[in-house]
Amino acid sequence: MNIPDTVSNDLPPGDDLPASPEDDATDGKPHPLHRRLKSFVKRAGRTTDGQARAFAELGPLFLVPYTPERLDLTAAFGGRVGPTVLEIGFGMGEATAHIATVLPETNFLCCEVHEPGVGALLKRIGEQSISNIRICAHDAVDVIDHMLQPGTLAGVHVFFPDPWHKKRHNKRRLIQPEFVTKLAQHLRPGGYIHCATDWQPYAEQMLEVLGAEPLLRNTAPDTGYAPKPAYRPLTKFENRGLKLGHGVWDLVFEKRA
pLDDT value for 239 = 86
Opening angle at CA 116, ends 179 and 11, nearest 5: 80
pLDDT for 17-45, tens place per residue?
334 434 444 344 443 333 455 554 555 46
Task: Give bridge partners of residue 109 from the DSSP assignment.
Answer: 86, 134
Q: Is the dihedral of CA 156, 161, 165, 166 positive or negative?
A: negative
The contacts of residue 16 (CB under 8 Å, 6+ apart) are none
Can you give the pLDDT of all 257 residues of the chain as single tens digits? Answer: 555 454 333 334 443 333 443 444 434 444 333 345 555 455 546 889 999 999 999 999 999 999 999 999 999 999 999 999 999 999 999 999 999 999 999 999 999 999 999 999 999 999 999 999 999 999 999 999 999 999 999 999 999 999 999 999 999 999 999 999 999 999 999 999 999 999 999 999 999 999 999 999 999 978 799 999 999 999 887 888 888 888 999 999 999 99
Q: What is the pLDDT of residue 27?
A: 43
| Cβ contact 68:138 at 8 Å | no
Residue 125 burial (CB count, 10 A): 25
Active site residue 162: yes
Q: Which is the catalytic residue, given 16, 142, 162, 250?
A: 162
Domain boundaries 21-255, corresponding CATH code:
3.40.50.150
- Boundaries of every domain in the chain: 21-255
Q: What is the pLDDT of residues 68-112, one digit of tens each?
A: 999 999 999 999 999 999 999 999 999 999 999 999 999 999 999
DSSP state of 101: H
pTM to 2 decimal places:
0.83
